[in-house]
Structures are given as structure tokens and as C-alpha cells.
Structure 1
């Protein structure tokens, strides 16, 4: 039954992506039009995850979401958060690796919604693009979502938190909003199958862009996220095994 439900989910994903893509192209002719159509697609996928797969979530700390565009600094364990964060927060753009733009329909859609694409092999160029495109997106009223560890990591693992988010926060005068989650315990990295259950998402209080230097801000963000990770880890079928 789990396999059948996942096949239905993937069928919904593929067919709606192709069906909605022409509307995204048309929407690109109007300010914010492509983004609105992309949100329709994301809403369909979030609905499918909840009602077809049975993968739901509980949100803690919704009252901490500020009323002005900020930088979302989230833990990254699976593809789930790239969808759910768009439901939890106001309209946003992501920072993603440029290679994704080459994927038919999906990658083209990323470009249409003004995803900030970076080349991980060229740090200098990536930093410059991050600042240029990030400022442009802020001026358009978008939030910016980043994964400070740079890549998806299995539950229980901790990567190196990069300073890009704090650097943008200071340059653009946007506060940072830390987010902890345990999605990888239900949707493992690169897994075809997603498993039913309830993901926990915790949103922290904003870290003011003028609260310290870049290193201090990112350290505060990292410490908060990892402390919450320790509290919510161990609830899904792919939770890390505890030491005996």
C-alpha cells in the first residue's frame, strides 16, 4: 500500500508540473505571476503529501514569524522542507545550486520563480551572485530561504554552518529566522518512498541583523537550531539509532 501511495504521489507531481508549466510561462509576463503559479503547484504537492502519503506536520513557534521579509535559515534533511516552508512562510525564493536549472520543467520553473542559483565550485562568483540577486529579491518583497549547512544531511548529523546567511542579513538589513525540523526521519535523502507520520517544525525568534558580527549571528543561529534538533530527533522510522 505504501508503494502504491507513493506512485500516486509521484504521478501527481509529474502530471501537475507539466500541466502547470505553460501557465508559469504566461505568468512570467506579469510581476509575481510565475511565483503565484508555482505556489499552486506546491499547494497541490503539500496536499498530496498530507492526504495521499499521510505525511503531516506540527508547527511550533508560528508566533515567531516576523511581519517583514527576513532570511529563513533552515535545517535541511530532505526535499520536504523545500515544499513545506513555502506553506509556513510568506512568498520566498531559495538559494540553490545552479545545476538544478538544467532539469526539464522543474529546473526551468526554478529559474522562472527567480531562484538564486550559485556555482558551488566558484566561491567568489557565488558570493557575488548571492549578494546581487539576494538584494534584488528583497527589493521585490520576497523572503530568502537558505540551508546554511549547504546540503541535505541525514537525521542526527551536523554540518558546517556557512556565513552566507548572516552576510546577507547584515548587507540587506534582514533578520534571520532559524528553523529546526526532523523531516529526514520520514523522507530519507534520495528516497523514492516517503513514509506517513508527523514531522515537527520549530521556528525560533528572529536574530536581528544588527545583533553582532556575521560569525556571532551564525553561531547563535546554529546553536539554537542544533539544540532544538536534539529535542525533536527520534520520532520517525528513520531516526538515528541511539547509542546503547
Structure 2
């Protein structure tokens, strides 16, 4: 049954993303970036709802009260990354538009990438090094000034269940330069949708949103260590069976 459900969900995603992406590309000629974002977020909400209906994956969200409430209140969301599930879920549940920081190669994915290219996000060329980060800061400040939250996966890639990747300080550096708080978020998506797995399992994905951490006067590495400590402690609390045995070195990618 999990195999059949996984095939059905994949087919649903493929069949719906093609007309959605083409519509978004066409609509982008006539609507502003905020309207464009919420149009795309509606499809992502449908993708998550289909994951619940077809795959049996349900979100259990705690800590929504920790999110900033002002219309223009800015923040950098730093999220544990275990699967595609949280990439789909975050825009579906957040009350503000989100801007992902991602490698520009994703723009070349047929349909999905074409739609992403029409959104006001932050795509970077990693080969540019410090210039790439300067672009993140410049665009991140501009977006956050208009009420968009920047979202980053500090481990940089999907990490196996029960393991921790190397937390990079880019998100903390951005928050410090922009003068905004960081919000750590723990996600147990690998219980149902393991990294690079085609077959998904029904179950509950816990999404725990931590309290904002002030970036004022902080050093990037120090701030990121605090974020990492909170996320990993929360992962142990939410998914204790994944940490019952000593973890092997993480395979990243």
C-alpha cells in the first residue's frame, strides 16, 4: 500500500504542477510579486493536503505563537532539513510570504523551476563565493523590509533521520546584518518521507517553532551554535527513537 500511495501522489504532483506552472508564468505578466507568491502557496497547500489524503502524512504544528505578528515584522527562519516535505509545507503554513535561498540550478527544472523563476526569491550561484552571500544580504534586506521572511536550511542539504549536518552560519550572518531575529524550527519529516526515498509512510510530522532569538550584537558562529543547540535538542525530544543508538556520520546530499 505505501508503494501504491507513493506512486499516486507522485502522479498527482506531476499532473498538477504542469498546468499550475504554465498558469503562473502567464499570470506573472499581470500581477505583482505578492499576489504571485500566494498563488504559488495555494498549490503548495494542495500538495501538502494531497500528502495527507493520499500518503497519510499529517502535520502537528506547535509554537505558531512564537512567530512575529506585525505586518512588516521581519525574521530569518532556520529550519531542520530532512526531506522535501518541509519545503512544501513551510509556505503552506506561514502567515507571511517566504523567500527561499536556493542554488540557481533549480530554476532549470521543467515547470517547477520555471514557476520559481517568476517569484521574488533569492537564487544564487555558489561558485561566486562571497559575492553570492552579498546578493543574499542585499536581496534579503529588501524583501524583509516589505514583510517577507527569508527561510534557509542551515545544514545546506537534507540530512538522514537521527543525524545532524554541519550548521553553516549564513543565516545567522544575514540576520545580524539585517538586524532581525532568527527563528529556529525543528521538523521530523524523515519519519514519513526519508531523504531521497520514493516510498513514503503514513504518520505524523512534528513541526516545532522556537522562540525568536535576537541577533543584535551577536557573532554569527555563536548565534548559529545557539540555533543548532535548540533545533537538535528539540529533534531529540520530538523523535527520541531516532536517537536511541549512537548516530553514524551523516550522509549529505
2:124 match: 118
Equivalent pairs counted in the alignment come to: 240
Deviations 1:95-140 (A, max 9, x none): 1121111111111122212221122333222212211221222233
Distance 2:68 2:147 in 1: 14
In the alignment, which residue of structure 2 is the partner of 1:50?
52
User: What residue number does 1:75 align with?
Assistant: 80
Residue in structure 1 matched with residue 105 of structure 2 by the alignment: 99
In structure 2, the residue matched to 1:85 is 90
Aligned to 1:30: 31
**CA shift for structure 1 position 233:** 2.2
- Post-superposition offset of 1:198: 0.3
Q: Secondary structure at the match of 2:227?
A: helix
* Structure 2 partner of 1:63: 65
Q: Report the aligned-residue RMSD.
A: 1.7
1:211 shift after superposition: 5.3
Contact 2:74/2:145 (<8 A) preserved? no
Q: Could you list the runs of 4 or more consecutive aligned residues of structure 1 that deviate by over 3 angstroms after TM superposition?
A: none
- The aligned residue for residue 185 of structure 2 is 179
Question: What SS is found at the alignment partner of 1:95?
Answer: strand
User: Counterparts of 2:53 and 2:77 in 1: how far apart (Å)?
Assistant: 27
Q: Secondary structure at the match of 1:200?
A: strand
What TM-score does the superposition give when structure 2 sets the normalisation length?
0.89
2:166 equivalent to 1:163: no
- Conservation of the 8 A alpha-carbon contact between 2:42 and 2:92: no
Counterpart of 1:133 in structure 2 is 139
Distance 2:24 2:36 in 1: 5
- TM normalised by structure 1 equals 0.92
